[in-house]
Chains A and B, each alone.
Chain A
Amino acid sequence: MSALELGVRDDVDPGAVLARANPVAKLAVATVIALGLLLSVDPVTAGVALALELACLPLTGVPLRGAWRRSWILLLAAVPTGVLTAFFGVDDGAVLLGLGPVDVSAGSASAGLGITLRVLAIGLPGVLLVLSTDPTDLADALAQVLRLPHRFVLGALAATRLLGVMAGEWEQLTLARRARGLGDDGLLGRVGTFGGQAFALLVLALRRGGVLATTMESRGFGAGGERTWARPSRMSWLDVFVVMCGAALTTTATAVGIAVGTWELVIVGSA
């Protein structure tokens, strides 16, 4: 359930540079890195970016173990994508492994490695952003710095509060299904039970959400007019520095890729 408990980040060092940065600056860094790496699929550019990101890890204030515990799941996306590309990608160069209809060639292996590293290099900053940012601070920044509509931002923020409650409800529902004699009919039966349980959770969520909405409205939410902010969220010089570091990281990775000669522009749609 820990993945659902947004805002519970007991192990993050609040004094670290990136923990003090404005969430919008961190969001900008993650976006710059993602855009830069989307331009090319090559192991060198993505590998350099990933290495630099790992080198920056201490700046986030997220301990190594915590970072690993929440980000290993990225491997589940990255590794199979890379392996599939290596097997089924366009072959090019020497055949490294021949398995009848599918071959792994030097070209497809390099593309596979490139994709794996790219997924990791794009995903890691996102995970670190979530880990080192309190959802409330993110909402404050989105509404005050980026000027997104505050009704939307605060509504979404309040909904994240319900996620923790819902996680508890799901546990109760699971126990209750056992108490009703359900859950031992193999896969098909389990799928049916799961559907019913998800529906029950939805009904309970709507009810809870209704109460929460009433609470918010009764405290003046959505009545129009101006709103003040108890926690002012501003961009500082630190944030400018952080964004420039992100841009530098992306540029360095790309420059190394170009220098080595593996960097190649992917035309969107032809990949």
Chain B
Amino acid sequence: MSLQTLTYLVVGASFALYIGIAIWSRAHTTGDFYIAGKGVSPVANGMATAADWMSAASFISMAGLIAFLGYDGSVYLMGWTGGYVLLALFLAPYLRKFGKFTVPEFIAERYYSKTARIVAVICLIFISFTYVAGQMRGVGIVFSRFLEVDVTLGLVIGMGIVFVYAVLGGMKGITYTQVAQYCVLIFAYTVPAIFIAIQITGNPIPQLAFGSEISGAGVSLLDKLDDIVTSLGFTQYTSGTKSRVDIFCITLALMVGTAGLPHVIVRFFTVPKVRDARISAGYALLFIAILYTTAPAVGAMARYNLVNTIQSGDVGAPDGNLVYEERPTWMHTWQQTGLLRFDDKNGDGRIQLYNDANPEFADTAADYGWQGNELSVDNDIMVLANPEIAGLPNWVIALVAAGGIAAALSTAAGLLLVISAAVSHDLVKGIFLPDISEKKELMAGRIAAAFAIMVAGYLGFDPPGWVAQVVAFAFGLAAASLFPVILLGIFFKRTNKEGAIAGMLTGLFFTYGYIEYFKGLFLKWAGAPWGDNVAEHWLFGISPEGIGVIGMLLNFAVALTVSYMTAPPPEHIQHLVEHIRVPRAID
């Protein structure tokens, strides 16, 4: 069977599975639609959270990113896992005890304010749309590479699938589909990793192979990698180029941002009990960790494979580099997608891959007769091309395609649901039409979901500048706006409406302004970015990716100061805080 047919078959089968689950788990009430009727077991919720969380970026891009960043890539590994500790310790059990439907709803009730609710909805919508556009794009890319359809058509198919199970099944449908999607994506991720680990080190467990010796070489993978990349003018793999303070802040912003992402928080509303919410965060991180500890191993092995293939002989020797005409087939395939490009700058018919941006290496390169780096490799290739690089059978390649699509769809669905809930529950029911019947609210939720899918599809099809800044913008906003006020709402009884609103707005505008200034988001037409995005110009040496930390600190500081300067929250709010702090109901 050809790869093409096989891929259609595997991806088609996975779609049939998702739709089947959606029909089986249709939502009948608003409780089903928003929080799956609070009936999800902690293990199932853990899997669903893992699939919800691990996006196209985690599945497709992260290992490749780490392969090129080396130690600096640790910010993503620690940042996107450590947030679950904060979630378990500070938010999940208490929000579950609160027991309502959405994150803005908590903020509205705790801070007895419609204004606070609207500010929270605005933050939520920006965060979620930024995030979802990337997922739709991911679906399009996987489709175009593996099924050889147009990116746009791929995107429309992806929208159609999400439409069926998000609109029909709501949270309930999404949850059980995500459980299936987790199984597909984790299998698709680990199988090629195991094969490659065996090929390079003989150890089948990628996490161990990462620290093992290369078969027959008598030197460990990481030492060899350090050695070979420095001889090509790159920074050592195990040390990075980012400053300590920036690494610190980016990691912290990603952790706090993770804990503040509405589509992650809301997953913990779906379990039956407070203690389920705590343990469920553990299961979620366990399932996430399987991929997140494999990814750096895949990154290192992929980098080694790539460098070793190109630099087939001694560095600097005339016959040390791969002859272009003898390149392996996977390079042919990926050249067609434009994600891999070759330009024979010195005309020797061989491929040179080295760091031509390193001034200290320039003389050495000139001595070798090299006239610039000749191969540019897109990060995303690393995971997608892995099975081909390792020469694995076609069914594994088909599986990776299905896994990439599962990762993108599961995250997209979770995001679309929180967007639709924010519209139907927080805006329609909470602000404009408080007397709306449950049936009508459910209908409003479905319409909002359908509308959100259209917008997401459009953003994925023609991404405006701001959606490219997922890491800085979505995580920065979540860290600087939502996380602090939710935490204060639970742990500091004295925080009041005035403090929360002032804090959220400060965090929001500071973080947004900084990112706009250095990267340009919505004001490109007015000349943004205005600042040169280099370390010398950054505040305290913190890049836009890490600035959410300062936004968060400002939010805390302003919220507390304003709260203590204004009247304390009313009696019933103090009682509400007492109520959410203990698992059992109090009178």
Partners in one complex: no
Chain A: residues with CB nearer than 8 A to chain B? none
